[in-house]
Amino acid sequence: MADKRDYYEVLGISKGASEDEIKKAYKKMARKYHPDLNPDNKEAEEKFKEVNEAYEVLSDPNKKARYDQYGHAGVDPNFGAGGAGFDGSFDFGDLGDIFGNFFGGGFGGGRRTNPNAPQRGESIRLSLTISFEEAAFGCEKEVTVERMEQCGTCGGSGCAAGATPEVCPDCHGSGQVQVRRQTPMGVFATSSPCGRCGGKGKIIHQPCPDCRGTGAVRKRKTIKASVPAGIDNGQTISIRGQGHAGKNGGPAGDLLITITVRPHELFRREGTSVLCEAPITFAQAVLGAELEIPTIDGKVKYDLPEGTQSGTTFRLKGKGIPSINGRGRGDQYVTVYIETPRNLNKEQKEALKKFAETMGDNNYEERRKFFKKSKK
Q: How confident is the model at residue 373 (pLDDT cuts 50, 70, 90)?
A: confident
pLDDT in tens, 257-288: 999 999 999 999 999 999 999 999 999 999 99
Q: Is the pLDDT of residue 243 over 80?
A: yes
Q: Which residues of 12-36 are buried (b: 16+ CB within 10 A; e: fewer)?
A: ebeeebeeeebbebbbebbeebbbe
3-state secondary structure of 364: coil
What mean pLDDT is predicted for residues 113-141? 91
Q: Which amino acid is at 353?
A: K
Within 10 angstroms of residue 330's Cβ, the number of other Cβ atoms is 20
Q: How confident is the model at residue 349 (pLDDT cuts 50, 70, 90)?
A: very high
pLDDT in tens, 83-98: 334 433 344 444 444 4
Number of residues that make up the chain: 376
Rounded mean pLDDT of the chain?
A: 84
Q: Is the pLDDT of residue 233 over 70?
A: yes
Bigger pLDDT: 176 vs 229? 229
Q: Is the pLDDT of residue 20 over 50?
A: yes
pLDDT in tens, 173-211: 888 888 777 666 666 777 888 888 888 888 888 999 999
Confidence at residue 80, expressed as pLDDT on a 0 to 100 scale? 43
Query: Helix %, strand %, coil % for the chain, to 5?
Result: 30, 30, 45
Question: Which residues, in sequence order, are CB contacts of 73 under 8 Å at separation 6+?
Answer: 1, 79, 81
